[in-house]
Structure 1
């Protein structure tokens, strides 16, 4: 059974977090380009939207689209899991709690959907506050061995050890 919130809105830490709509796509590109200094992340999000791994209810924005987070279908070995990212916050609004609100909202939505795990590549110092631990503690290995010091997982239920595979568009980067 697929999880569907009563509405597309959630309030986290006084901020309105909601599902992206088609009207948000341009603003998501802009905030992602600004946050990642015109890296490939905005293009990646466009590619992900056209991929079978896209999960619309896990593409969330802060209401004014000052931030965005997305989780897409990935796999640990052959077991479904989520790959989190990119997550972006407009540089002028970083350190204001938007990223944390987005993380809490997307993790809550993932758990409510019955997802088994969320995997990401990022700073262990930052993401540990959201319950992430080094993926190697669970025997989960990254697609690129060089990512090992930054490759993390948050498990909601049992997941076997094995390699993690992101949605196909990540392979184009």
Structure 2
């Protein structure tokens, strides 16, 4: 298994190139990117994996968001280089990011993604949480890092100001 390390500013362009390789053109037009604009990522939750030769195999980034007065982590994007897919690296990145978020005291994590894939990490549809359009509401998922962390949380997801 590859080691995970915290992303540094020197890694930024290489991680961006990985995201460009793994995602469709126009990925930055998605509503989740509007929530990230001008907001610093949570550095401890921006992880990457390099092999013994220093080659980037995968990366994950996370940002703070707000739903009403509640704070949450917006997980993603997560990407694994095509030559490393099928090795469990994506699951490893997600699992580690969730563990670190919990250790940091974050109570809840959300994302926009495929429920069949993310349900294995405990993510479920957030019926009362609304992402900015044009997000498909069936893809808005969340996981509680502590019991009842999503209880009573509802409303529009917006940029974190702090």
TM-score bucket of the superposed structures, by smaller chain? 0.7 to 0.9
Matched residue pairs, number?
A: 150
Task: Tell me if 1:29 matches 2:16.
Answer: yes
Distance 2:41 2:107 in 1: 17
Distance 1:78 1:53 in 2: 19
| C-alpha contact (below 8 Å) 1:53/1:74 kept by paired residues | no
| C-alpha contact (below 8 Å) 2:61/2:75 kept by paired residues | yes
Cα 1:23–1:55 shift into 2, 3 Å: same
| C-alpha contact (below 8 Å) 2:70/2:153 kept by paired residues | no
Task: Report the equivalent of 2:113.
Answer: 122
1:33 is paired with a residue whose SS is: helix
2:64 is paired with a residue whose SS is: strand
2:86 is paired with a residue whose SS is: coil
Distance 1:66 1:84 in 2: 18
Q: Aligned-pair RMSD on alpha carbons? A: 2.5
Task: Report the equivalent of 2:159.
Answer: 167
Cα 1:99–1:75 shift into 2, 3 Å: same
1:126 is paired with a residue whose SS is: helix
Task: Report the equivalent of 2:46.
Answer: 59
Q: Which one of 94, 98, 101 corresponds to residue 92 of structure 2?
A: 101
| C-alpha contact (below 8 Å) 1:74/1:82 kept by paired residues | yes
1:88 is paired with a residue whose SS is: strand
Deviations, residues 28-79 of structure 1 (Å, cap 9, x unaligned): 01111000144334xx88x94x734421111110123221111100012121
Task: Report the equivalent of 2:138.
Answer: 149
1:57 is paired with a residue whose SS is: helix
Q: Which consecutive unaligned segments of at least 5 residues does structure 1 have?
A: 1-13, 169-173
Deviations, residues 105-147 of structure 1 (Å, cap 9, x unaligned): 10111111110110011010000011111112xx333333752
Task: Report the equivalent of 1:70.
Answer: 61
Q: TM-score, normalised by structure 2?
A: 0.81
| C-alpha contact (below 8 Å) 1:143/1:163 kept by paired residues | no
Distance 1:100 1:166 in 2: 27
Distance 1:67 1:146 in 2: 25
Distance 1:88 1:82 in 2: 17
